[in-house]
Structure 1
């Protein structure tokens, strides 16, 4: 009789390879770098935009603040000296002072806004002032500004 054949044993198949986490890690690192670059770039552009707007508005706002401070203090001669050449040609200092003293007496002046623009390569600015009167009345006045001799001047 023939001897039974020895059973053949095959080695078990190798265990399945675990999924590589390197691909996931690389994708996450790339995404993190892209997000970081976007955030830093956005913050940098925001800062540059803020700085350029501040540099454009700052001098006009400062000139408006000085003008309003002189009006608020009743220093009419100093306020007149800050106005543009066209306003000073239209009226003398005495006429400016007389006009300020003749009108209704304001109880306060406050600069509430400054707008600077560029129109066909020419810079323009406007200041907004709130003028308070007795009895609580408040009037909003917008005064154009002109850039003369390297500085902003109110041109009412």
Structure 2
């Protein structure tokens, strides 16, 4: 009995190219999906921070403009119940000296369904120095309020 070799199909030079094209397409789709997913997550995070940032901006802008009644309106009800608007205006008129501000960052959190935020505000002082204050915010009746 003679040994007969098994027939081996001829090598197809297109097989390697086809595999590389398929792998390239899959990698491209994965990268594109990552970019789109990252962009969507970034926009969602920005949308969550936006209203809190706007409330801090309104408060800080009113404080620097010495429009203390407007700043008082940005406080949460607990703080407004502890101090009347007249007392707040009088106290801030005597003490507040900032000439400008910069909102350094806003961080919105959701812990067990309780939404809150913290904002870092750098206050510019008349002598050129600055100081950073962390403002705590809560969501009250759908609006963000300063509630230290």
- Partner residue of 1:132? 124
Moved more, 83-92 or 62-71: 62-71
**2:84 is the counterpart of 1:92:** yes
TM-score by length of 2: 0.88
Gaps of 5+ in 1: 1-16
Larger radius of gyration: 1
- Partner residue of 2:70? 78
TM-score by length of 1: 0.83
- CA–CA distance in 2 between the matches of 1:84 and 1:30? 58
Asked whether the 8 Å contact 1:71–1:109 carries over to 2, the reply is no
> Structure 1 segments of 4 or more deviating over 4 A?
none
The alignment of Structure 1 onto Structure 2 pairs a total of residues equal to: 140
- CA–CA distance in 2 between the matches of 1:97 and 1:63? 19
Change in CA separation of 1:104 and 1:59 when aligned onto 2, cut-off 3 Å = closer
- Partner residue of 2:25? 33
- CA–CA distance in 1 between the matches of 2:16 and 2:79? 71
Superposition RMSD on alpha carbons, in Å? 1.6
- Partner residue of 1:14? none
